[in-house]
Amino acid sequence: MVRLLSVLIALAAPIAADAALPIGAKAPDFSTQVSLAGKPMSFSLAKALKKGPVVLYFYPAAFTQGCTIEAHQFAEATDDFRKLGATVVGMSADPIDKLNRFSVEACRNKFAVGSATPATITAYDVTLPKNPAMSNRTSYVIAPDGKVIFAYSAMDPAGHVHGTMDAVKSWKAAHRKG
């Protein structure tokens, strides 16, 4: 059943040619500093996965046009993700001081944004070709077992929230109890 779900999500999900980790891959574990509502705190992927799926999205830089649009879209959808048991976290190479402001102004205090280390950017294979210190725009959904069930890479922010939401809904439907 889980394998069938993975295949269905893979076929239904828009996956661009430069999507980094393939469906079914084990997501690299990491811990980092995040900001939620302007307050820095620690974040552990392993700990978040104990609560349910994680929507992990990488973006190039806070306060740029596309990244602000994407943050607004994820902020609008965060309550729906939460109802499905999913945690949303955005990641960029920005310093935590900048992310403290971004989490309030663009993320509207709805979800955490974290500082991605070069090692995390490399591990998720989301390096921006023109600037290896930054990430491209890639969204993942990681199931509680640590496996990638959705991956989408596109510099246009359109499609990231919709795709991740569909993947979380499909996962939730396949894992309903009773």
- Strand 39-44 to strand 112-115: parallel, antiparallel, or no bridges (unpaired)? unpaired
Q: Is the pLDDT of residue 2 over 60?
A: no
**Exposure letters 130-162 (e unless 16+ CB within 10 A, then b):** eeeebbbbbbbbbbbeebbbbbbbbeebebbbe
Identify the residue with better confidence: 18 or 140: 140
Q: Is the pLDDT of residue 9 over 60?
A: no
pLDDT, tens only, 23-53? 999 999 999 999 999 999 999 999 999 999 9
CATH 3.40.30.10 fits 2-174, yes or no: yes
Secondary structure element (H or E) that encloses residue 164, with its range: helix 160-174
Residues noted as catalytic: 67
Q: Is the pLDDT of residue 63 over 70?
A: yes
| Residue 123 token pair | 């591990």
| Residue 177 token pair | 């109890």
Instruction: Please report which confidence band the pLDDT of residue 178 belongs to, taking 50, 70 and 90 as the band edges.
Output: low
Q: Which range is least confidently modeled, 8-12, 39-43, 67-71, 167-171?
A: 8-12
Q: For the chain, what is the mean pLDDT?
A: 90
Q: Is the pLDDT of residue 90 over 80?
A: yes
How much of the chain, in percent, has pLDDT values that exceed 90? 84
Taking the domains of the chain in order of start, what are their residue ranges?
A: 2-174
Identify the residue with better confidence: 80 or 10: 80
pLDDT, tens only, 142-171? 999 999 999 999 999 999 999 999 999 999
Mean pLDDT of 96-120: 97
Q: Indicate the pTM of the whole model.
A: 0.89
What is the reported pLDDT for 55?
Answer: 98
